[in-house]
């Protein structure tokens, strides 16, 4: 048992998690997922919101099995290792809006931190501006953490609270398999064209999600956490998983002939450097203040963390608002109200960072 515990806490497992995602994400793309989008938590949550009718952008509506699998894989790992611990904390409305604005920033850039890395590995030069912005946002957030920023301590909760999001994922999986229509012309929606219509086989997508959720729960894989720990304590443990993701995805794309370097005509991307940068400044800052990247939030919600669950619900709502109110970007450019929303989001996060501080 001690050997197992030692391995689970070792750098090897975090690297294995990065390689797992880095190899299978391009494979998912090869099998049907959108270009440079083998796995994207933000985009896939956006697609789920569309499938449920929370927005009506017809080209991005699909119940992505990868998201379902990540939560359920984390739930299985936590249950097996006796780490499923229902808990809740404080400041739920702030956590909700951190998720809301994190999603807006990600959809202005067009991708979560995982997709940002996958876009780089696929040759998309526009992701360089996103990466720099992401790091700047985390650096700002790390500064708040050094000053004593906190959203309060978590406390044990009833089992049902921790089961809400995993059970919701089971319901979504049933919807994805049986494709019910609850009213004439109503949900569940499935895109007939566009990114929402591009998807790998359901079972394989679910398998990848389950594996990533399981490994992520055991290794504590987190893209935002990797840079945060580098800034705060000069630790590269989590960052080694991010680097493994980038390298393995790059090599896999080369093997699958999916590496296409350049800035123009990249799949589901735009070339506005300023808003690629600022969109990910907002996302990186919001993820740091909330305690982890969107994948990490899904994993935490799978192991019973209601705070992470509130953040995820905020992301779903942010996705709906992004498309309903013309904030989300597209390959043709930044949405009409995306820049305003990003500035408001950065102002909100800075206010939270300054005011939510432990009193001495």
pTM of the model: 0.95
pLDDT of residue 9: 53
The full length of the chain comes to: 360
pLDDT in tens, 265-295: 999 999 999 999 999 999 999 999 999 999 9
For the chain, the helix, strand and coil percentages under 3-state DSSP, each to the nearest 5: 65, 5, 30
Is residue 196 over pLDDT 50?
Answer: yes
Is residue 247 over pLDDT 90?
Answer: yes
Is residue 7 over pLDDT 70?
Answer: no
**199 contacts 206 by C-beta, under 8 angstroms:** no
Q: What is the mean pLDDT of residues 330-358?
A: 96
pLDDT of residue 359: 63
Please indicate, yes or no, if residue 297 is contained in any of the structural domains: yes
Q: What is the mean pLDDT of residues 10-17?
A: 92
**72 contacts 166 by C-beta, under 8 angstroms:** yes
pLDDT of residue 32: 97
pLDDT of residue 60: 97
Is residue 6 over pLDDT 60?
Answer: no
pLDDT in tens, 22-56: 999 999 999 999 999 999 999 999 999 999 999 99
b/e code 325-337 from CB counts within 10 Å (16+ = b) = bebbbbeeebbeb
pLDDT in tens, 53-112: 999 999 999 999 999 999 999 999 999 999 999 999 889 999 999 999 999 999 999 999
pLDDT of residue 157: 87
% the chain with pLDDT above 70: 97
pLDDT of residue 201: 98
Please indicate, yes or no, if residue 360 is contained in any of the structural domains: no
**176 contacts 63 by C-beta, under 8 angstroms:** yes
Tokens 């083998």 belong to: 38
For residue 96, the enclosing domain spans 2-355
Nearest-CA neighbor of 66 among 101, 29, 14?
29
Is residue 11 very low, low, confident or very high in pLDDT (cuts 50, 70, 90)? confident
Is residue 2 very low, low, confident or very high in pLDDT (cuts 50, 70, 90)? very low
The 10 Å Cβ neighbour count of residue 32 is 13
Nearest-CA neighbor of 280 among 194, 349, 204?
349
The total number of structural domains that make up the chain:
1
pLDDT of residue 3: 53
Q: What is the mean pLDDT of residues 235-254?
A: 97
Alpha-carbon separation of residue 246 from 38, 77, 145 (angstroms): 13, 25, 27
| SS3 track for 250-294 | HHHHHHCCCCCCECCCCCCCCCCHHHHHHHHHHHHHHHHHHCCCH
- Helices 294-302 and 223-233 cross at an angle (nearest 10°) of 100
Tokens for 193?
């064209």
**206 contacts 68 by C-beta, under 8 angstroms:** yes
Please indicate, yes or no, if residue 316 is contained in any of the structural domains: yes
Is residue 170 over pLDDT 60?
Answer: yes
Report the SS3 class of residue 156.
Answer: strand
pLDDT of residue 89: 84
pLDDT of residue 65: 98
Q: What is the mean pLDDT of residues 115-126?
A: 98
Please indicate, yes or no, if residue 260 is contained in any of the structural domains: yes
pLDDT in tens, 220-238: 999 999 999 999 999 999 9
Q: What CA–CA distance (Å, rounded) separates 54 from 12?
A: 40
Run of H or E residues at 87? strand 87-88
Q: What's the angle, vertex CA 337, arms to CA 331 and CA 339, rounded to 5?
A: 80
């Amino acid at each position: 048992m001690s050997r197992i515990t030692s391995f689970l806490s070792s750098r090897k497992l975090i690297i294995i998690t990065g390689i797992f995602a880095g190899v299978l994400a391009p494979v998912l793309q090869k099998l049907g997922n959108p270009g440079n989008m083998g796995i994207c938590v933000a985009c896939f949550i956006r697609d789920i919101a569309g499938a449920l009718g929370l927005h009506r952008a017809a080209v991005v509506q699909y119940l992505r099995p990868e998201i379902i699998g990540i939560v359920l894989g984390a739930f299985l790992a936590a249950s097996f290792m006796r780490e499923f611990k229902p808990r809740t904390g404080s400041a739920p409305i702030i956590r909700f809006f951190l998720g809301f604005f994190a999603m807006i920033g990600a959809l202005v850039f067009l991708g979560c931190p995982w997709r940002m890395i996958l876009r780089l590995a696929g040759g998309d030069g526009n992701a360089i501006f996103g990466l720099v912005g992401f790091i700047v946002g985390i650096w700002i957030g790390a500064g708040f953490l050094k000053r004593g920023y906190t959203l309060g301590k978590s406390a044990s909760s009833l089992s049902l609270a921790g089961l809400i999001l995993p059970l919701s994922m089971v319901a979504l999986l049933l919807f994805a398999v049986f494709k019910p229509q609850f009213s004439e012309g109503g949900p569940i929606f499935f895109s007939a064209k566009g990114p929402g219509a591009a998807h790998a086989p359901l079972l394989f997508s679910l398998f990848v999600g389950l594996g990533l959720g399981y490994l992520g729960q055991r290794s504590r894989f987190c893209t935002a956490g990797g840079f945060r720990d580098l800034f705060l304590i000069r630790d590269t443990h989590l960052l080694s998983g991010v680097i493994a993701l980038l390298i393995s995805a790059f090599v896999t794309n080369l093997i699958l002939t999916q590496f296409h370097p350049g800035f123009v005509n990249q799949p589901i991307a735009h070339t506005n450097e300023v808003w690629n940068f600022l969109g990910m400044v907002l996302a990186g800052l919001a993820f740091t203040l909330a305690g982890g990247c969107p994948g990490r939030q899904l994993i935490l919600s799978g192991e019973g963390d209601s705070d992470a669950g509130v953040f995820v619900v905020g992301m779903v709502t942010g996705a709906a608002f992004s498309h309903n109110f013309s904030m989300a970007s597209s390959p043709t450019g930044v949405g009409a109200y995306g820049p305003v929303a990003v500035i408001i989001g950065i102002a909100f996060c800075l206010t939270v960072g300054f005011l939510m501080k432990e009193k001495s």
